[in-house]
Amino acid sequence: MNTSLVDYYQQRATDYESIYHKPERQQDIATATTILQNIFIDKQVLEIACGTGFWTEKIAAVASAIHATDINQSVIDIAKQKHYAKANVSFELADFFQYQTAQPYNSLFGGFIWSHILLQEIPTFIATIQCCVAPGGTVVFMDNNFVTGSNLPITHTDAAGNTFQKRQLADGSTHLVLKNFSTETFIKNKLEKVASEVNFIHLKYYWILVYKTNS
């Protein structure tokens, strides 16, 4: 993963969930919670880029078990403090691009990670997903739509087409953060050879992608 991106989220850990407090996003968050909980009922879930556990907590309420991973210990420490009534969550510090699992899971969730993958690394990212999920397993990604006035503007585009936002943290430091806003067509094209039963759900501020891994 891009090193500057890792550093950014490590420094942002304590302010990670402020974006979920925006009043205009509450309906989308409630809708997304219902969708995710319906998908993950009684499933064994591998979560990548779990962050501070905002979505981990919601999925854990219905899942059989969830193994939540992130590349930053600072956000995992916060995620561990969430309330998991079923005591069914485990955590691991891991770089997903280097991740290996003894046995594939029957489902995977990646919240707001797709937009932080370099375009040229997406094939490798998808191949890693395939190795972690059993054939016929369920994969779910959730990420941002670009909504003018709600999202920060794109301030830089590199030669490969990757887009970046200039973000400022509470300490006043500024960071150029990778944030690709992929279209439904682009994502489906990337998954064409490895996925079936692809369902792309459009909300106002977010999108949710659900598919089955090919056997």
pLDDT of 2 over the 50 cut: no
The amino acid at residue 102 is: A
The reported pLDDT for the residue numbered 14 is: 75
Distances (CA, A) of 44 to 23, 134, 196, 206: 32, 11, 20, 24
Using DSSP, state whether 5 is helix, strand or coil: helix
- The average confidence (pLDDT) of the chain is 94
Percent of residues, the chain, with pLDDT higher than 70: 98
Residue 25 and residue 23: Cα distance in Å, rounded? 5
Q: 86-130, pLDDT tens digit by residue?
A: 999 999 999 999 998 989 999 999 999 999 999 999 999 999 999
Please state, in angstroms and rounded to a whole number, the distance separating the CA atoms of residues 49 and 62.
19
Where do the structural domains in the chain lie, given as residue ranges? 3-144+182-213
The domain 3-144+182-213: what is its CATH number? 3.40.50.150
Which residue is listed with tokens 């490969």? 160
pLDDT classification of 1: cutoffs 50, 70, 90: very low
Query: What percent of the chain has pLDDT above 90?
Result: 84
pLDDT at 57: 98
